[in-house]
Structure 1
Amino acid sequence: MSERPPSLLAHVGALAALALLLLASIAVSRMHLGTWNTVAGPAIAAAKASIVVFFFMKLRKSAPSVHFAACFGIAWLAIMIVLTLSDFLTRWPVVVR
């Protein structure tokens, strides 16, 4: 396989995007957005993870078995999040007297 590596400009662009998203996550963590902090934090983290997965790990050009493993990992993470939230959201509040 004589595949050309990404250019220096592409690496600089990925670095700049990750740096901007880092600054955005720092800014969001310092602002009081109420419930939107819970939405903005994971959204920024997902954007950073997608840059790493698609650019540095080259998931787009990988074998179908790697695609299956990535989808399985995402599905497992979703199951764990749903189970954790179902436990957390169904608890009764503790009243301390």
Structure 2
Amino acid sequence: MALITLGVLLLASIVVSRIHLGTWNSFAGPAIAAVKASIVLFFFMKLRKSGPSVHFAACFGFAWLAIMIVLTLSDFLTRWPVIVR
């Protein structure tokens, strides 16, 4: 069931990449990727049935990813465009 769902989400991400949704493309792609990642984590890596140390490692990984995204976005959003004359 999980493998079929991943296949459907793969097709959905291909369709979303081909259709012009305006600013919703920036939301739809990462949202589909997050759903696919959660399916892989919970069904194939069996995160639900694992021990507390594995839960801690997964939470630490997500926290590190969040820190990297925040730092990258803060750098990107505070840059001024370079005007070449």
TM-score range, shorter chain: over 0.9
1:52 match: 40
Aligned length: 85
Kindly indicate whether residue 15 of structure 2 is the aligned counterpart of residue 27 of structure 1: yes
Q: 1:93 aligns with which of 77, 81, 85?
A: 81
Structure number with greater CO (CA < 8 Å, separation at least 6) is 2
Equivalent AA in structure 2 for residue 39 of structure 1: F
Compute the TM-score of the two structures, normalised by the length of structure 1.
0.85
Equivalent AA in structure 2 for residue 90 of structure 1: T
Structure 2: which 5+ runs fail to align?
A: none
Runs ≥4 residues deviating over 6 A: none
Q: Please say which structure displays the higher CA radius of gyration.
A: 1
Q: CA deviation at 1:49?
A: 0.6
The share of aligned pairs that are identical, in percent, is 84
Compute the TM-score of the two structures, normalised by the length of structure 2.
0.96
